[in-house]
Amino acid sequence: MVSKGKMKLTWILWFILWPAILWLSYNYYYVSMEDQIIDILLFALFMCIVAWFPLTINDNPVFFVNGISIAVFLTFGLFVEIILTQIAIVTVLAKTRVGKKDNYRYPLNMIMFSLVSVIGAGVFVQLGGNHQTIFTQSEEQVWAIFGYAITIFIANQFFNKLIDKAFYKRKVKIFDEGLRWEVISSLLIIPVGFVLFVLYSEIGRAGIFYLGIPFVFISVILMLLYSYKEINRYLEKTGEIGHQLTNRMELSSVYNVFINEISDLLPIDYAYIYIVEDNKLKLEQFYDLENNTEASFSSLKRNEAFSGKVWATGKSLLYKRASDWATVKSRKIPSDTESVLSQAVEYGEDIIGVVTIESKQKKAFEKLHFQIMDILTNYLGVALENAKNYELTKSQSERDGLTQLYNFRYMENLLEDYCDNLIENNSNENFSLLLLDIDHFKKVNDIYGHEAGNEILCQIAESLKSFIGERGVIARYGGEEFIVFLPYSGLSESTQIAENIRSLIADSPFTVHKHIINNTGPLNVSITTSIGISVFPIHCETPSELIRHADRAMYIGAKRKGRNRVAAYEDLKSS
């Protein structure tokens, strides 16, 4: 975003430089306007018509008046060429709807093109060009014209890149899409401009119509060709994004790919992905181009902001300026938002989410962007359902059905991967494994029933999750046994954690409701546990040994010595 200081400086420089350039070009350079005002107006008209069909590449309008401006320069001189080019600039900026917020672009472009014209005229004179003898079309004059055309092209590119780099702070590529189209257009239009000059010199005003009208058609054809290429580019990129989305099996990866790709494809300042959950729109992903803000909210209600309206009505929204959505009141909309595109994410007949993109620029989103987003949200809907199904299937294969802890297969794979990573990186890290077994659990089942036993298993699982938190990973080993994996934990630390777990379970009776004791309500059941500890790599060399040694420590060191105690494999080695 351009600072107010830069905008003010631009207007000040224009106020000083532009009148000075006009005065100097009128008083100190060749000027020919006598009895030719009508012809000059005709040239101005054709330049404005051509400027009305620009290409917008990387936010910069590219228009094809160079050919006509060459004929104007050679015929009428620098002063007239500057004036007519400035009129064409105002036309193209008006066509691209540069508003009040960006009105600094008028003086900025007028200064730039005036300097380009002056530099081109200087090269023309240095190469021996002479407006009064140019009609002889001598070799020297032809080289001067050629040098002028090349200089205009190079100076235009130089100032465009300089402004992008210094003024807008954009990353600049020398050989970009804009340069390619400038080269193509120049190869077509500059020779036609020279022919226009020759034809006007020979037959006068009729020459303007003979070549001016084809000039307009060339501009229109180039604009349509570029539009066709842009549509193809969007469609190809959309297909690539769809392919990437369908290959992602995790929800977070789907969100990241979608946001990253559309932020590169479309002129976005803010983007939101919402998912319908618990009768509200839950914000899953937020994007800010300048990384200046974070979403200050986590969900939306129906009809709230843009996404809430789309969810409630099922109808997409496309606003091109802030005044179009002035009735949509919400603190959850950034204050500098102008253009908005919001579409539902559907799967089958259901709306499963909403995607909203916003821009600080007016008219940032057009009908083409709307159609592209419609395709992309369809891809997103399929990708989200695929990822949800994959994660559900993965969770079911990794989780214990009763306690919702990880199962033993998951723990085995985790330990294998963790050990392999430590060995690969030559790490000296210790980690521990606790194997926990409920004492006399068969008697609990016999007295209170298996459903009560299941209640106790689930409550112990919740107690372990609450106590361990982010310090480790818990799995159900099988039956009444649990495994706790403690990374970055040696024997002393893991022994203390195990002792705390043992005390927590022993000191807190568990309440069962689904027992088989007649005529009683909920019952409190006291439970104790025996815990075995082994440490990698102190007690073992492989994950399977780690589990086996923890199991042995639990049975021999804890169970056989009275239960309700903690034992380490270290104790068995020393006994």
pLDDT tens by residue, 284-321: 999 998 776 777 888 999 999 999 999 999 999 999 98
Q: What is the pLDDT of residue 121?
A: 92
Q: Which of 62-76, 159-173, 264-278 has the highest mean pLDDT?
A: 264-278
Which are the contacts of 194, defined by CB distance < 8 A and separation ≥ 6?
A: 67, 70, 71, 145, 149
State the average pLDDT over residues 535-559. 90
36 lies in the same domain as 133: yes
Q: What is the pLDDT of residue 11?
A: 92
Give one DSSP letter per residue of 176-194, joined into a string.
-HHHHHHHHHHHHHHHHHH
Q: Is the dihedral of CA 554, 556, 559, 563 positive or negative?
A: negative
- Residue 299 belongs to a domain: yes
Domain count, the chain: 3
Q: What percent of the chain has pLDDT over 90?
A: 43
Boundaries of domain holding 61: 4-231
20 lies in the same domain as 152: yes
From 564, 393, 400, select the one nearest 482 (Cα to Cα).
400
Q: What is the pLDDT of residue 166?
A: 79
Q: What is the pLDDT of residue 135?
A: 65
Q: What is the pLDDT of residue 373?
A: 92
Which are the contacts of 446, defined by CB distance < 8 A and separation ≥ 6?
A: none
CA atoms within 13 A on the CB side of 433: 35
Angle at alpha carbon of residue 476, lines to 489 and 405, rounded to 5°: 90
DSSP conformational letter for 509: P
From 351, 409, 402, 359, select the one nearest 377 (Cα to Cα).
351
Give one DSSP letter per residue of 192-218, joined into a string.
HHHHHHHHHHHHTHHHHHHHHHHHHHH
Residue 372 clears pLDDT 60, i.e. is over it: yes
- The CATH number given to whatever domain includes residue 200 is 1.10.1760.20
Domain boundary pick from 391, 421, 436: 391
The confidence band for 398, taking pLDDT boundaries of 50, 70 and 90, is confident
133 lies in the same domain as 172: yes
Region at 357 (left for phi over 0; alpha for psi -120 to 50; beta for the rest): beta
State the average pLDDT over residues 516-533. 90
CA atoms within 13 A on the CB side of 229: 12
- Residue 396 belongs to a domain: no
- Residue 242 belongs to a domain: no
- Residue 145 belongs to a domain: yes
CA atoms within 13 A on the CB side of 511: 4
21 lies in the same domain as 47: yes
How crowded is residue 179: how many other Cβ atoms within 10 Å of its Cβ?
Answer: 17
- Residue 241 belongs to a domain: no
- The answer to whether 344 and 316 have CB atoms below 8 angstroms apart is yes
Q: What is the pLDDT of residue 574?
A: 60
278 lies in the same domain as 362: yes
Q: What percent of the chain has pLDDT over 70?
A: 93
DSSP β-bridge partners for residue 437: 481, 530
Residue 154 clears pLDDT 70, i.e. is over it: yes
349 lies in the same domain as 411: no
Q: What is the pLDDT of residue 575?
A: 56
Return d(Cα 456, Cα 522) in angstroms, integer: 13
385 lies in the same domain as 448: no
Tokens linked to 144:
């001067």
Return d(Cα 135, Cα 391) in angstroms, integer: 78
DSSP β-bridge partners for residue 351: 346
Q: Which residues of 189-224 are buried (b: 16+ CB within 10 A; e: fewer)?
A: bbebbbebbbbbeeeeeebbeebbeebbebbeebbe
- Residue 237 belongs to a domain: no
Q: What is the pLDDT of residue 58?
A: 54
427 lies in the same domain as 507: yes
171 lies in the same domain as 296: no
Range of weakest confidence among 44-58, 294-308, 377-391, 392-406:
44-58
386 lies in the same domain as 417: no
Is 480 one of the annotated active-site residues of the chain? yes
- Residue 236 belongs to a domain: no
From 512, 525, 261, select the one nearest 383 (Cα to Cα).
261
- The answer to whether 469 and 531 have CB atoms below 8 angstroms apart is no
513 against 57, higher pLDDT: 513
How crowded is residue 54: how many other Cβ atoms within 10 Å of its Cβ?
Answer: 23
Return d(Cα 114, Cα 81) in angstroms, integer: 9
- Specify the residue for token string 């229109």: 220
- Residue 399 belongs to a domain: no
Which are the contacts of 108, defined by CB distance < 8 A and separation ≥ 6?
A: 10, 14, 163, 167
543 lies in the same domain as 457: yes
- Check: pTM over 0.75? Answer yes or no: no
- The CATH number given to whatever domain includes residue 293 is 3.30.450.40
Catalytic residue (one of 358, 455, 480, 570):
480
The confidence band for 566, taking pLDDT boundaries of 50, 70 and 90, is very high
226 lies in the same domain as 268: no
State the average pLDDT over residues 529-540. 91
pLDDT tens digits along 351-364: 999 999 999 888 88
Return d(Cα 524, Cα 504) in angstroms, integer: 15
DSSP β-bridge partners for residue 286: 272
pLDDT tens digits along 179-227: 676 777 677 777 877 888 888 888 888 888 877 777 677 767 766 776 7
When the pLDDT of each residue in the chain is averaged and rounded to a whole number, the result is 87
Residue 177 clears pLDDT 70, i.e. is over it: no
**Residue type at 344?**
A
**Residue type at 89?**
I
Backbone phi and psi for residue 297, each to the nearest 5 degrees, phi listed first: -145, 160
- The answer to whether 280 and 300 have CB atoms below 8 angstroms apart is yes
Backbone phi and psi for residue 330, each to the nearest 5 degrees, phi listed first: -165, 135
Return d(Cα 509, Cα 511) in angstroms, integer: 7
- The CATH number given to whatever domain includes residue 481 is 3.30.70.270
Return d(Cα 158, Cα 116) in angstroms, integer: 10
